[in-house]
Amino acid sequence: MSFISIEFLLFFAIIVFTYYLIPHRFRWVLLLVASYVFYAILSIQFVPLLLASTVFTYFSGIVIEKQETKRQKKNAMLVGISVLLLFLGWFKYVNFVNESLRAVANYFNLNYSIPYQEIVLPLAISFYTLQAVSYLVDIYHGKQKAERHYGYFSIFFAFFPQLVAGPIERAKKLLPQLKAEHSLNYENLSYGMKRIAWGFFKKTLIADRLAPIVSSVFDNPNPTGSQIVLATILFSIQLFADFSALSDIAIGCARMLGIKLAENFKQPHFAVSISDFWNRWHITFSTWLRDYIFFPLCKGKKKRSDIYAAIVITFLVSGIWHGAAWTFVIWGLIHGFYRVFGDYTKHLRGEVASFIHLDRNPVFHKWVKIAITFLLVCFSRVFYRSDSVTQAFENAQLFLSISSWNPLGIVKAFEIFTLLDLVIFVFFFIVFQLFQYIERKNVSTWKLLSQRPTFVRFAFYIFIILSVLIFGVTGKGFIYGGF
């Protein structure tokens, strides 16, 4: 039962109707049952693992809080985190490490007899593990009380709108909302349905329409350089539309239940630097990395070299978290290099901009920075999208080749589209960009629409629904749903 399905919409409609029909004291039971039913439909074989992780984290939090000394609390926290990471490591990384050791052994002509392990990655384990780790760390630091109500804690751990791929929530924010009594509110229902519909729009009319186009290039053993350039740019659009659509649906579903989840994206492809990009992209994950990896690594450090090392390690963790493959490791290191290089050259770049008088035209200067940042992000995504390190470096070489950027070659590369697919994509992409343009003017598009006449509002809503029904296509699920 994917988010993008009639089955899910019916399932969720029943949950919302029942939620406001029953007394508040029983709602946690409904949400808990709904969350486990949803997870079981998607991945029933890993329900026991989800239960075990929940029970372990619940009692670990209580044990940490009961310790008398800070050292005892720290030891209990480290044990809890180690076990959670052991679960994650076994299911997600054991074959990555195993095959990497095999490759090293083969290189040195050594015997390596440990076979490949047939392990299936449990759905959402990367996401609920991060929430669990943050919960235990916050208890250790005294920022969060250990939750005693097992039911509410279980919902925090497996809340179905955001279980599959976030946003990654903190217990301090989500638990009080789960416990609060929410009354039926028209604004919440209206806003939630709009966000869900907008998520469907981005997923079915942009992301899933681009998916086969992008795959046709990256699955081609001999793509042209211009095709790699175009496909990589299109993949960046696809990835953003796909992941932000998933967040839209999660946020919309939660809002209809009276719960506000954190925003996960803020138009990242309009960032003016790599630092700005990570403040806009997968925001809840970026802040998790900042609070639980970067800040601890930087504690007590004053040397710039130490801070740069912490930055690189943080992005290395980001790469490893995204996938058990060297392509993701390299992708993470590339962003670490970007971030360090950007900070190290910040003053020099300002002087260059002043010398060539670029800073005298702030608007043009801003768009130059946006374009450079976007292209840097696109280059890193060559590694993100490629299936192997060898293929990634071959594609990266093509991406960087000057001839690949020949305008005539780029135009010819559009042959990867059929004419009909191109027209449909361009039309809905323009609609998407108009939506983002309004948002960049610091005006909520939905708020702006609410101020329009009833006919205009409902004409737009009907346009979204009919567009999805008539022109929308569905793919193999969400990209981040596989993490």
Distance CA 438, CA 418 (A): 30
Distance CA 261, CA 168 (A): 9
Q: Name the DSSP class of 115.
A: P
Distance CA 240, CA 247 (A): 10
Distance CA 431, CA 438 (A): 11
Show Cβ contacts of residue 149 under 8 Å, excluding neighbours closer than 6 positions: 28, 179
Distance CA 399, CA 224 (A): 10
Q: What is the dihedral of CA 131, 135, 141, 147, to 10 degrees?
A: 160
Closest by CA position to 159, among listed 251, 77, 245: 251
The structure tokens 């346009």 sit at 463
Distance CA 483, CA 478 (A): 10
Distance CA 405, CA 230 (A): 9
Neighbours of 262 (CB within 10 A): 17
**Of the listed 24, 182, 269, 322, which one is catalytic?**
322
Coil, strand or helix at 294: helix
| CA distances in angstroms from 171 to 117, 131, 143, 154, 156, listed in the order given | 35, 8, 10, 11, 7
Show Cβ contacts of residue 332 under 8 Å, excluding neighbours closer than 6 positions: 315, 316, 317, 318, 319, 320, 322
Distance CA 38, CA 7 (A): 11
Q: What region does 124 belong to: left with phi over 0, alpha with psi -120 to 50, or beta?
A: left
Distance CA 461, CA 455 (A): 10
The structure tokens 């912490």 sit at 310
The structure tokens 């054991």 sit at 94
Query: Does the annotation mark 322 as catalytic?
Result: yes
Looking at residue 452, its amino acid is R
DSSP annotation string for 50-90: HHHHHHHHHHHHHHHHH-SSHHHHHHHHHHHHHHHHHHHHH
CB 53 within 8 A of CB 129: yes
Active site residues: 322
